[in-house]
Amino acid sequence: MANTCLKKLSFDVLTADDGHEAVEIFKEHADKIVGVLLDLTMPHKDGIQVFREIRKLKPDIKVILTSGYNEQDATQQFVGKGLAGFIQKPYVSKDLIEKIKAVMGKR
């Protein structure tokens, strides 16, 4: 669903099955990536680890965190680190599109 929403907004989308793959894909395509939708809970590397690694590679990358945990609990580890936004799961496509537009400046 997130993939479809992003494509509706004319973004090219790269997806990863786990945190390790996410970092590898980011390394390979960092110059073209303008934003990341990142799940807090992933196999092999969690969202916190992935966030730290991709921010080292591209400190200004916009990252929207998603989680089934409430926003306060999920974003606690990201306070002051430049997280661009949060969307709680489950979400509907309309809410995701609004969040992406707000963070990425798309109308």
Q: Which pair of structure tokens corresponds to residue 11?
A: 């973004």
Q: What is the pLDDT of residues 58-106, one digit of tens each?
A: 999 999 999 999 999 999 999 999 999 999 999 999 999 999 999 998 6
Short-list 103, 22, 4, 74, CA closest to 13: 4
In this structure, is residue 67 part of a structural domain? yes
Q: What is the CATH number of the domain that holds 33?
A: 3.40.50.2300
Supply the range of the domain harboring residue 47.
2-101
pTM across the whole model: 0.93
Bridge partners of 35? 62
Peptide linkage before 90 cis (omega within 30 of 0)? yes
Contact of 34 with 58, CB cutoff 8 Å:
no
In this structure, is residue 71 part of a structural domain? yes
pLDDT of 57 reads 97
